[in-house]
Amino acid sequence: MRVPFLSLQPQQELIREELEKGFKKVLDGSQYILGKEVKAFEQAYAEYSGTRHCIAVANGMDALTIALSVLGIGSGDEVIVPALTCAPTWMAVARTGATIVAADVDEKTFNVTVDTIAPLVSRKTKAIVPVNLYGRPADLERIVDFASSKNIFVVEDNAQGHGAAISGKKTGSVGHINATSFYPTKNLGALGDGGAITTNDYELNQKARSFRNYGSTARFQHEVIGINSRLDELQAAFLRVKLRHLDAWNEERRTLAHKIQRELIGVGDLFFPEDASSVYSVYHLLVATTQKRDSLRSFLQQQEIEMDIHYPLPPHLQKAFARRGYASGSFPVTEKICHQILSLPLWPGMGEENTNYMVDQVKRFFKK
Ligand X SMILES: Cc1ncc(COP(=O)(O)O)c(C=O)c1O
Q: Do the Cβ atoms of 334 and 83 come closer than 8 Å?
A: yes
Q: Select from 181, 229, 235, 250 the one that contacts ligand X (CB under 6 A).
A: 181
Nearer to ligand X among residue 61 and residue 337 (C-beta):
61
Q: Which range in 13-21, 93-101, 154-162, 256-264 contacts ligand X by CB under 6 A?
A: 154-162
DSSP for residue 213: B
Q: How far is the CB of 244 from ligand X (least distance, A)?
A: 21
Q: Does 131 bind ligand X (CB under 6 A)?
A: yes
Side-chain half-sphere exposure of 33, counting CA atoms within 13 A: 7
Question: Do the bridges between strand 341-344 and strand 286-289 make them parallel or antiparallel, or are there none, so unpaired?
Answer: antiparallel
Kind plus residue range of the DSSP H or E element containing 55: strand 53-57
Q: Does 138 bind ligand X (CB under 6 A)?
A: no
Q: Which range in 54-62, 72-80, 110-118, 265-273 contacts ligand X by CB under 6 A?
A: 54-62
Q: Does 189 bind ligand X (CB under 6 A)?
A: no
Using DSSP, state whether 175 is helix, strand or coil.
Answer: coil
List the interface residues with ligand X, window 89-118 (CB under 6 A): 89
Q: Select from 137, 195, 345, 348 the one that contacts ligand X (CB under 6 A).
A: 195
Q: Does 59 bind ligand X (CB under 6 A)?
A: yes
* Helices H / strands E in the chain, number of each: 11, 12
Q: How far is the CB of 69 from ligand X (least distance, A)?
A: 15
Q: Which range in 85-93, 256-264, 271-279, 342-350 contacts ligand X by CB under 6 A?
A: 85-93
Distances in whole angstroms, Cα of residue 160 to Cα of each of 74, 165, 286: 25, 12, 12
Side-chain half-sphere exposure of 35, counting CA atoms within 13 A: 16
d(CA 210, CA 225): 9
Q: Select from 85, 109, 199, 355 the one that contacts ligand X (CB under 6 A).
A: 85
d(CA 210, CA 222): 8
d(CA 290, CA 297): 11
Q: Select from 82, 88, 172, 345 the one that contacts ligand X (CB under 6 A).
A: 88
Nearer to ligand X among residue 1 and residue 320 (C-beta):
320
Residue 131: count other Cβ atoms within 10 Å of its Cβ. 25
Q: How far is the CB of 183 from ligand X (least distance, A)?
A: 4
Q: Which range in 2-10, 55-63, 96-104, 296-304 contacts ligand X by CB under 6 A?
A: 55-63
Q: Which residue is nearest to ligand X, using beta carbons?
A: 60
What is the chain's percent helix, strand, coil content, to nearest 5?
45, 15, 40
Angle at 213 between CA 210 and CA 217, to 5 degrees: 45
**For residue 203, with 0-12 CB atoms within 10 Å meaning exposed, 13-18 middle and 19 or more buried, which class applies?**
exposed
Q: x/- binding map, residues 156-175, to ligand X, per CB under 6 A?
A: -x-xx---------------
Q: How far is the CB of 172 from ligand X (least distance, A)?
A: 12
Q: Which range in 28-36, 57-65, 93-101, 255-263 contacts ligand X by CB under 6 A?
A: 57-65
Q: How far is the CB of 63 from ligand X (least distance, A)?
A: 7
Nearer to ligand X among residue 59 and residue 111 (C-beta):
59
Q: Which range in 19-27, 58-66, 230-238, 264-272 contacts ligand X by CB under 6 A?
A: 58-66
Q: To the nearest 10°, the Cα dihedral for 154, 159, 162, 165? A: -30
Q: Phi, psi at residue 127, to the nearest 5°?
A: -155, 155
Q: How far is the CB of 331 from ligand X (least distance, A)?
A: 17
Q: How many residues bind ligand X (CB under 6 A)?
A: 15
Kind plus residue range of the DSSP H or E element containing 264: helix 233-264
Q: Does 65 bind ligand X (CB under 6 A)?
A: no
Q: Do the Cβ atoms of 216 and 230 come closer than 8 Å?
A: no
* Binding-site ranges for ligand X (CB under 6 A): 59-61, 85-86, 88-89, 131, 157, 159-160, 181, 183, 193, 195
